Amino acid sequence: MDVDRGVPTIVEAARQIKAGMLSPVALVETCLERIEKYDSTINAFHTVFIDEARKAAKQAEKEIESGNYRGPLHGIPVGLKDVFYLKGYKTTSNSRVMEDFEADEDAAVVTRLRDAGAIFMGQLNTYEFTFGGRPTFNALYPPARNPWDIARSTGGSSSGSGAAVAAGFCLAALGSDAGGSIRTPSAFCGVAGMKATFGRVSAFGDLPLSFSFDCVGPMTWTSEDSALMLQALAGYDERDPGSVETSVPDYVTPLNDSVRGLKVGMLRHFYTTDYDAPTEIVDAIDGVGETLKGLGAIVGEINVSPLIDWHAVGRVILPAEAYAIHEENLQNRWEEFGPLARNRMMLGSLVRAVDYIQAQRRRTELLEEIESALAEYDVIITTAMLTPQPPLDDKAPFPFLDVPMIAVPFNLTLHPVQTVRAGFFDDGMPIGAQIVGRNWDEATVLQVAHAFEKEAGFLKRFPDLS
């Protein structure tokens, strides 16, 4: 293993930048050097903003030296998943259909990060049109590889985001999540990822996969860093019809509060009874509960409908909405789609209106089950993965037919979720857990995640890129 990740966390860097001990210019150069040295193998970025990042770093340094410090993201290198509008650049979603598309304005989250002083390092790879499952080698750009083992999948669809943060190419990245697309690559790549409550972060300027549960969020090395990113990203935006006008709390100050007395509900049957996950996963996720119990939390076990029920509802709604979004292009530009994304979307054309309505009805019932559990418990913990990271060249066209979607339940219910590193497989690959909270209570989710990370110590291990 490397001695370290090669770059500091956001918290560490922000402290040093504010104190004049670290130059944004030097930090950006460190990231650029790592990208130049390693990304030809990892493929996290398809476009690196070398000149732009250097110019922005010099400007940030000048502002900070003159006393115009904007906050903890000022001078911090961040990567952008290639689904967000970025004026002056193409937004492709890794599809030939979008190869020449250029928006005339920035996505809301891009504007928020720029206003906070973040420095954009480039555009990150994604699965075509963010449809997860497995990567494809015949999309617009080649797939990102997992820094822990380049022969293994990053998970999707925020593949480049997970890889870039794990490899130390940037201190944070933006992802989007309609069925686990932040949480799966976070788990597979061993980083922290936040899917906030639906409506908490504006999705304006994000190329969507789903109308009813697509979210935008940060991917970072630690949950503490996720809190800093979410603080900048969260807020109402009238341009996003799903955005909710509600106050944004302080996510950072409560992070170090004690978890003593908090009630934690373990959702074990998802990974023990409903699906027979490997022992390493079971032990790691159970270990999250044991660690929190050792910190004074009250740990119990909850039961909801079998995972396959949640999976079935997601597998009706998600393809149907994806097809509705892309129908015109599927009809008129069929040959420009990669076969994997195209075939997955075409499943949605077979969904009848009655099936979609019944799925939404069942979704409401399932949501009530989680609401009931969260009336008793402050957070729910379950796994973020049911299998080890598959080979990058896995040929299964519809992998969701083999393994249920473990992340989709909390897209359906819209609740906030933080993915954390929960341990390792025997071969050294990371294992991820999901920490789920009440709507609009990302603060407690992040507090619990941060407490676990500090106590467990798993973030002291890094991928070896040599």
Residue 434 to residue 380: CA distance in whole angstroms: 8
Cis bond before residue 210 (omega within 30° of 0): no
Q: What angle do CA 76, 78, 84 make, to 5 degrees?
A: 140
Alpha helices in 333-397 (DSSP H): 339-346, 353-376
Residue 120, classed as helix, strand or coil, is: strand
The dihedral built from the CA positions of residue 318, 322, 327 and 331, taken in this order, carries a sign that is: negative
DSSP 3-state of 173:
strand
Taking Cα atoms as reference points, which of 129, 130, 112 lies closest to residue 120?
Answer: 112
Rounded Cα–Cα distance for residues 314 and 181 (Å): 14
Backbone angles phi, psi at 465, to 5 degrees: -90, -5
Residue 129 per-residue DSSP state? G
Maximum distance among all Cα pairs of the chain, rounded to whole angstroms = 62
95, 158, 161, 181: the catalytic one is: 181
Q: Give the pair of three-digit tokens for residue 366.
A: 């399932």
Q: Are 135 and 159 in contact (CB under 8 A)?
A: yes
CA–CA separation, 191 and 66 (whole Å) = 34
- Is position 243 annotated as part of the catalytic site? no
Determine whether 223 is an active site residue: no
- Per the annotation, the verdict on 161 as an active-site residue is no
Q: Which of 23, 93, 95, 157 is catalytic?
A: 157
* CA angle 69–112–89, rounded 5-degree value: 115
Q: 379-383 and 263-266: which strand pairing?
A: parallel
Give me the sheet containing 417-424, strands edge to edge: 45-48, 119-124, 77-81, 172-177, 215-220, 192-195, 417-424, 430-437, 379-383, 263-266, 298-301
Q: Considering 23, 81, 186, 226, which one is annotated as catalytic?
A: 81
CA distance 421 to 402: 24
45: β partners: 124
Q: Which are the catalytic amino acids?
A: 81, 157, 181
